[in-house]
Amino acid sequence: MSGSKLRGVLSPVLTPFNADYSVSETRFLKHCKSLLEQNVGLAVFGTNSEANSLSVEEKIRLLDLLIDAGVPGDRLMPGTGCCALTDSIALTRHAVQRGCAGVLMLPPFYYKGVSDEGLFRNYAAIIDAVADERLRIYLYHIPPVSQVGISLALIERLLKAYPGTIAGVKDSSGDWSNTKAMLDTFQPEGFDVFAGSETFLLQTLRNGGAGCITATGNVNPAAISQLYATWQQDDADAQQAQLDAVRKAFQAHPMIAAMKHAIAWQSGDESWKTMRPPLQELSQEQAGKLESDLSALSFKIRNAAALSGL
């Protein structure tokens, strides 16, 4: 296993559902292939994948679907951190055994105010139980949603206890000073820091970081991966500004519903709008604003027709 192919741009892949809330495997596979063709890696089962609305069994089935369809493991960084230690172990073990280059791991997020000692024990118990030297863990820091975060002190302790296995972090704190501290402290040791969105992509790369793992990668993959490939060129700031404008149109709404709406709209496949409860689709008013904002930017999802499951 080489960590190198996981650098760059990855996306928490949207999970399409059928009307009865079951996963639409056909649309999922099409979407994954489209992202790979646009140089975006697959951080399947992330927050924007509605992954915490999926059972471990459903995630294992989807992972198998991708790998059996020939998706290379070295482009896969599935989310495997669950509330229950036993779920995290089962899912992580499966991901490693199926050849995934890394896993993105939330801390257990039900109990609040837990100690770094308790979180350390959680990660240690998973690593010890999986007991596979191929395991590469990317820690997932997203306190606005999980309410349980990954402190710098915890990263330091984990890196010391499990060098090689603790491979990096996705920082979705939205706080650049935290990302910068991670970059300054840990990136020089080969610990890969990913920005939690393309908003900080250029800044992250200029500070030696590994790339970004971003929701918007689902709808704007080529342009984001283009900035990653050409960030040292003169037009990098202009590219970043263009990415920001597109993101702003989506971010004005609940992101997952907005991205699904855009795909439904541009692919002509209404099913793409379906959200599994407790999340819900955009209101008509939100949808109208999104469509008009994207039109004003002349924004098109590339190869949108290929995402239709019809």
Least distance from a copy of itself to the Cβ atom of residue 231, Å = 32
For the record, the structure tokens of 51 come out as 């992954």
Q: Which of 21, 13, 24 is nearest to 79 (CA)?
A: 13
Min CB(109)–a copy of itself separation in Å? 7
Nearest to 149 by CA among 129, 127, 166, 174: 174
Is residue 203 within 8 Å of residue 237, measured between CB atoms? no
117 is an interface residue for a copy of itself by CB under 8 A: yes
C-alpha 40, offset from chain centre:
10
Q: At what angle do helices 25-37 and 56-68 cross, to 10 degrees?
A: 50
Residue 220 Cβ vs a copy of itself, minimum distance, rounded to whole Å: 23
CA distance 155 to 165: 12
Candidates 61-69, 179-187, 277-285, 293-301; binding stretch for a copy of itself (CB under 8 A): 277-285
Of 284, 296, 301, 215, nearest in space to 255 by CA: 215
Q: Does 60 bind a copy of itself (CB under 8 A)?
A: no
Confirm or reject binding of residue 118 to a copy of itself (CB under 8 A): yes
Tell how strand 192-195 and strand 103-105 pair up: unpaired
Q: Is 140 a catalytic residue?
A: yes
Residue 107 or 221 with smaller CB distance to a copy of itself: 107
Q: Does 255 bind a copy of itself (CB under 8 A)?
A: no
Size of the site for a copy of itself (CB under 8 A): 39
213 annotated as ligand-binding: yes
Residue 42 phi/psi, 5° resolution? Answer: -105, 95
Interface pick for a copy of itself out of 36, 67, 85, 181 (rule CB under 8 A):
85
- Which token pair is 205? 């790369």
Give the residue, chosen from 122, 173, 203, 303, that forms a contact with a copy of itself under the rule CB under 8 A: 122
Active site residue 170: yes
280 binds a copy of itself (CB under 8 A): yes
Task: Give the integer Cα–Cα distance in Å for 229 and 9.
Answer: 10
The residues, any chain, with a CB within 8 Å of residue 26's CB and separated by 6 or more, are 309
Question: Looking at 34-42, 77-85, 149-157, 214-222, which segment touches a copy of itself (CB under 8 A)?
Answer: 77-85
Piece in contact with a copy of itself (CB under 8 A), picked from 140-148, 189-197, 214-222, 245-253: 140-148
Element (H, E) at 169: strand 166-171
Q: For residue 90, state whether it binds a copy of itself (rule: CB under 8 A).
A: yes
User: C-beta of 106: minimal distance to a copy of itself in Å?
Assistant: 9
CA dist 236 → 3, 7, 171, 210 (Å):
25, 18, 22, 16
Catalytic position from the list 59, 123, 138, 140:
140
Residues of this chain that bind a copy of itself (CB under 8 A)? 21, 47, 52-58, 83-87, 90, 107-112, 114-115, 117-119, 121-122, 125, 144-148, 276-280
Residues marked active site are found at 140, 170
